[in-house]
């Protein structure tokens, strides 16, 4: 069978033209072949790809911002009495030996190290060297929406990759399209902006590109885009509206509609709305099956 890369997108009408199929392949045979050739959807590929990427190392982001609930292990080189483990309060404060109460909310480990060194260096210790290690992460919140089984806000104990949060949310639904959009709040010039990151499902699930399995940050909103709808009408067994699953092809749309009837002419048209203009694309089903 010749591979035809005609992908269907949002709100497409696919219509087969009536006619006699005298010298073309039998519609029943074509329908059987279409069903056999139907590739797995992204929701079906997810468990397989998750197992392949599960061994990927999960580095902790250096710019992780400390927040309420985090457990900090703080030590000062050469001064054992100042070593302490402390959990960040709901208001972002901790109490440290000698120093007392200080705010740590929104600081990275490096920034907190420098802040403590500055306070200790002024009054207590000459040229102190401070190490801050985050033992438990409690302030990472990720929102997952769209074509996902359990959409909600998830609180995770550490930095987490995209595949992991999809797994926590129960996996993809069959409606999942070919894009994932991640909205990330970022501070720029003393104001907050939204940065949008687009992930291609094919890179993540079919190609297994590790770079697509990005490390998420607290506050990220992950939106699994739905695939839209295709309308299959004309000489098919089950005409109607069908959800586009991933990157659906013409032959896959035919399979969803139960295949061709006995009087289908194996020629049809795709009506696609592009920028408000209705485009008509002729297709030859018989040629696709060669």
Domain ranges of the chain: 12-43+228-288, 71-136, 139-226
* C-alpha gyration radius of the chain: 28
Superfamily of chain region 71-136: wza like domain (3.30.1950.10)
What pLDDT is recorded for position 36? 47
**Euclidean distance between CA atoms 151 and 132, whole angstroms:** 34
With 0-12 / 13-18 / 19 or more C-beta atoms within 10 angstroms meaning exposed / middle / buried, residue 227 is buried
Rounded to a whole number of angstroms, the distance between the first and last alpha carbons of the chain is 5
**Euclidean distance between CA atoms 62 and 191, whole angstroms:** 22
CATH of 139-226 given 3.40.50.10490, 3.40.50.300, 3.10.560.10, 1.10.10.10: 3.10.560.10
What pLDDT is recorded for position 43? 54
Structure-token match 């013409």, residue found: 250
**Euclidean distance between CA atoms 85 and 182, whole angstroms:** 34
Structure-token match 């920034």, residue found: 111
Closest CA to 139 of 211, 204, 83, 72: 72
Task: Identify the DSSP state of 124.
Answer: T
**Element holding 132 (H helix, E strand):** strand 130-136
Q: How far is CA 145 from CA 48, 169, 195, 225, 251, in A?
A: 22, 9, 17, 9, 30
What pLDDT is recorded for position 162? 92
With 0-12 / 13-18 / 19 or more C-beta atoms within 10 angstroms meaning exposed / middle / buried, residue 216 is buried
Q: State the Cα angle at 265 between 260 and 271, rounded to 5°.
A: 80
Find how far residue 242's CA is from the centre of its chain: 23
What pLDDT is recorded for position 44? 54
Q: Which residues contact 276 (CB under 8 A, 6 or more apart)?
A: none
pTM over 0.75: no
- As given in the structure block, the two tokens for residue 118 are 């500055």
Contact 186, 204 (CB under 8 A): no
Contact 122, 142 (CB under 8 A): no
Contact 38, 77 (CB under 8 A): no
**Euclidean distance between CA atoms 266 and 283, whole angstroms:** 9
**pLDDT digit string (tens) for the chain, length 290 residues:** 444 344 444 444 555 443 444 444 454 454 445 444 445 555 555 554 444 444 444 445 667 789 888 999 999 998 988 999 999 998 999 999 999 999 999 899 999 999 999 999 998 899 999 999 998 877 678 999 999 999 999 988 667 899 999 999 998 888 888 889 999 988 778 888 889 999 988 888 777 788 889 999 888 999 998 877 788 888 888 888 877 766 678 888 888 888 888 887 777 888 877 777 778 888 887 777 76
The pair phi, psi for residue 196, each rounded to 5°, is: -105, 130
Q: State the Cα angle at 149 between 147 and 153, rounded to 5°.
A: 90
């Amino acid at each position: 069978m010749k591979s035809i890369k005609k992908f269907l997108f949002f709100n497409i009408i696919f219509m087969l033209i009536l006619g006699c199929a005298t010298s073309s392949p039998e519609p029943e045979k074509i329908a059987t072949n279409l069903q056999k050739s139907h590739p797995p959807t992204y929701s079906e590929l997810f468990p397989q790809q998750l197992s392949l990427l599960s061994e990927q190392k999960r580095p902790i982001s250096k710019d992780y911002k400390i927040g309420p609930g985090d457990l900090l292990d703080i030590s000062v080189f050469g001064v054992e009495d100042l070593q302490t483990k402390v959990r960040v309060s709901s208001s972002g404060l901790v109490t440290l030996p000698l120093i007392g109460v200080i705010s740590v909310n929104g600081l990275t480990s490096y920034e907190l190290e420098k802040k403590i060194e500055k306070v200790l260096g002024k009054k207590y210790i000459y040229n102190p060297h401070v190490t801050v290690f985050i033992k438990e992460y409690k302030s990472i919140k990720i929102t997952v929406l769209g074509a996902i089984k359990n959409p909600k806000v998830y609180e995770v104990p550490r930095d987490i990759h995209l595949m992991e949060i999809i797994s926590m949310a129960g996996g993809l639904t069959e409606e999942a399209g070919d894009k994932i959009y991640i909205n990330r709040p970022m501070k720029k010039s003393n104001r907050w902006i939204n940065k949008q990151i687009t992930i291609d499902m094919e890179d993540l699930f079919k190609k297994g590109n590790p770079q697509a399995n990005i490390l998420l940050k607290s506050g990220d909103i992950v939106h699994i885009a739905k695939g839209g709808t295709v309308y299959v009408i004309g000489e098919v067994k089950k005409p109607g509206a069908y959800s586009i699953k991933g990157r659906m092809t013409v032959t896959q749309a035919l399979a969803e509609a139960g295949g061709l009837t006995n009087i289908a002419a194996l020629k049809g048209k795709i009506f696609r709305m592009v920028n408000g203009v209705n485009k008509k694309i002729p297709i030859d089903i018989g040629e696709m099956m060669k």
